[in-house]
Amino acid sequence: MVFDHHTIPNPDYAEGYAGGKKTIDCVSIPSSNTPSTEDQIYVMFLQSLHGEAMKAALSLQTPVRRGSFQQPPAPSVQAKSKIQDNSQAPKGPPAVRTAAGGRSFKFSLIQDTQHNKFYDLVVQVVKVFPTRFGDYIEVYVTDYTSNKNLYDYPDPNEKSDIVTEGDHLGYTSFDRKEWPGPWGQMVLRIEVRHPHADYIQNSTKEGDCVELKNVRVKFSQQGKLEANMFPDTLNPQKVLASKLNAAKSEECQQLQSRRSAYWEARQEPEPKYMAKTKKQKKAELRRKAEADARASELAEKKAQGLASDSINKHGESRNVVVLTVY
C-alpha cells in the first residue's frame, strides 16, 4: 500500500478511523485491498514521527532534466538571511528536539498521558512478564502518579468484588501476595517489542528506574490506558530504553520522593525487590535463544519472499505499508 503524505491525518484523529469509520486514501495491490485500522494508525505514527524531517530533506533537492545540467539560481539576499536565521534553529525532527535543561518535549508523567499520543517516560519497573512466543514482553511501570484512565489495582487490605470475565490481558489475575504495588490507578502496562525488550530483560530488574522513549499510549479494548514500544522505523536496532542513575537523574529523584510519600501514607515499608535467581536467569536466556531462533527463521523466510510479487501462494494479498513524500 502506498499513501500520499498529504492525505495522512494527525494521530489525534485516529479514533475516527477505528472500526472502518473512515479510510485513508491509498494505492494498493490489488486495488480492492483496503488498509486496516492498524495499518492506518501505523501510517499516522510514521507521518508524525518522520514526515517533517523527510519533507525538509526533499525540499533541499533541485530537480534536473535528464540529459542536461541546470545550475540552480543563486539565492537572493532575503533567502540568505533566512538560511542564516534557520542555522540557529534546533536541529533534527520535532520528535527529538529538547526543551531547556535537555529534557525532551515529549517527556510526561503518567498522570498526564492521553490516548494515541507519544511520550518519553521516566518510570520504575514493577513487573516484567515474557510472552508465549517471545516476540514481545509485558512491562508494568509506575512513576507514582495517578491517572483515572488506568486499570484500578485493588488494594489487598480492602475487599474487592472483581469480575474477571473478559479480562484477556490478565489485569486482575495477579496473585496479590506477589504484586508489590502500588495499588490503585498508578501502573501502566506496556507491550515492548525488540530490541527494547532485550535490553529491559537483560539489563534491568524490577525496582529499577528507567527511561523509555517514544512510548505510544492508547486505550485497550477494555477502555483502559495501556502502551506499546515498537522498533524505530529509521533505525530498527536503536534501543529506546535505558537504566538511570538516581544520583544523576532529577526525574528519578522526584519519582523516589513520590514513592517514599506513597508508602509512608500507607504506613507500610517500601517493597524490597530481590535480584534474579539463577533459575530465572537461565529461563530468560532460554527464552531469548528461542526468540532469536524464531527471528532468524522469519528473516530467512522474508528474504526468500522478497523476490516474489505481493500475492502469496494461496492467492492472498500481502499488506505493505509505505510512506511517501512528494
List of domains in the chain: 1-60+317-326 (no CATH), 110-159+176-275 (2.40.50.140)
Helices vs strands, H then E, count in the chain? 5, 8
Q: Are 165 and 172 in contact (CB under 8 A)?
A: no
Least trusted range by pLDDT, from 59-63, 271-275, 302-306: 59-63
| Cell numbers linked to 121 | 517516560
Question: Residues for the chain: how many in total?
Answer: 326
Neighbours of 309 (CB within 10 A): 9
Q: Which residues pair with residue 324 across a beta bridge?
A: 4
Q: Are 136 and 193 in contact (CB under 8 A)?
A: yes
- pTM of this structure: 0.55
Q: What does the pLDDT look like over 224-242, one tens digit per residue?
A: 999 999 998 889 999 999 9
Q: Which residues pair with residue 225 across a beta bridge?
A: 219
Determine the average pLDDT of the residues in 32-56: 72
Q: Are 154 and 183 in contact (CB under 8 A)?
A: yes
pLDDT at residue 96 above 50?
no
Q: What does the pLDDT look like over 140-184, one tens digit per residue?
A: 999 999 999 999 999 887 765 544 433 444 544 455 456 888 999
Considering 98-107, 150-159, 290-299, the range whose residues carry the highest mean pLDDT is 150-159
CA dist., res. 191 & res. 179, Å (int): 18
